[in-house]
Amino acid sequence: MRFHGFALAAGALALFACGGGEKQADTPAADTTPAAVTPPPAAPGTGTGAPITGTTHEVRMVGDATSYRFEPNAITIKAGDGIKFVNISGGPHNVAADPTKLPDDVKTQLSANMPNQMSPFNGPLMMNPNESYTVSFGGIKPGTYELNCTPHLAMGMIIKVTVQ
C-alpha cells in the first residue's frame, strides 16, 4: 500500500511539473546567442612563468605504510633550476605552498611558475603513479621555501627547497 501511495504522489508531481495551465500567446524566441564571458579575475600573484634554465631535479612523492613523504625532504638548487615532482605511491599528491610563508616579492613569480593550479599556490592532484608536476625556480630569489602536499600536509608531507 505504501508503494502505491508513493507512485501516485510521484505521478501527480510529474503531471504538475510537465504541463497544465493555460497556453500562453506565442512570443518571439529568446535570443540564444551566448552572452559574452568575462574572464575571472586573475589569481593573486599571477605573472609570466620563468623557464627552467638550469638542471631539473627529481623529487619522489611516496605514501606507504611507514609515512607520506617527499624523497628527499630537503633539496638545494640554483636559481633557474626546476623540480619535477613524481607521484610514486599513496596518491593523490600535489605540490603546494602556503602563501603566508612566502616573501611578498616571491609570491608573484612562484605562482606564475606553477602551471595548472587548482587554486592559488596549489598544483593539480596527481592521482596515478608516474604522474609528474614540474615547478620552475626561474626568477626566484635565494632563500629557503617550504612546499607541501595538501592531501597529506597533516601527515607531515613537507619539503624544504633552498634556492642558492
Tell me whether residue 51 is in a domain.
Answer: no
Structural contact between residues 81 and 56, judged by C-beta atoms closer than 8 angstroms: yes
Q: Give residue-wise pLDDT tens across range 17-71.
A: 444 445 545 544 444 444 433 333 334 444 799 999 999 999 999 999 999 999 9
For residue 145, what are the domain limits? 56-163
- pLDDT tens for each residue of 83-127: 999 999 999 999 999 999 999 999 999 999 999 999 999 999 999
Nearest-angstrom CA–CA distance, 110 and 45: 8
Question: The whole model's pTM is what?
Answer: 0.72
Q: Is residue 78 part of a domain?
A: yes
Domain membership of residue 23 (yes or no) is no
In a domain, 40, yes or no: no
CB neighbours of residue 104 within 10 Å = 8
41 within some domain: no
In a domain, 31, yes or no: no
| 146 secondary structure, DSSP code | E
Q: Are the C-beta atoms of residues 60 and 86 closer than 8 Å to each other? A: yes
Count CB-CB contacts under 10 A for residue 69. Answer: 20
How far apart are alpha carbons 30 and 136 in whole angstroms?
49
> Is the bond preceding 34 in cis, omega lying within 30 degrees of 0?
no
DSSP H helices, the chain, are 2-18, 104-112
Report residue 142 CA to chain centroid gap. 26
> How many domains does the structure of the chain reveal?
1
Q: Is residue 6 part of a domain?
A: no
Q: Is residue 9 part of a domain?
A: no
> Quick one: pLDDT band at residue 81, thresholds 50, 70, 90?
very high
Q: The domain spanning residue 72 has which CATH number? A: 2.60.40.420
Judged against a pLDDT cut of 80, whether residue 146 lies above it is answered with yes
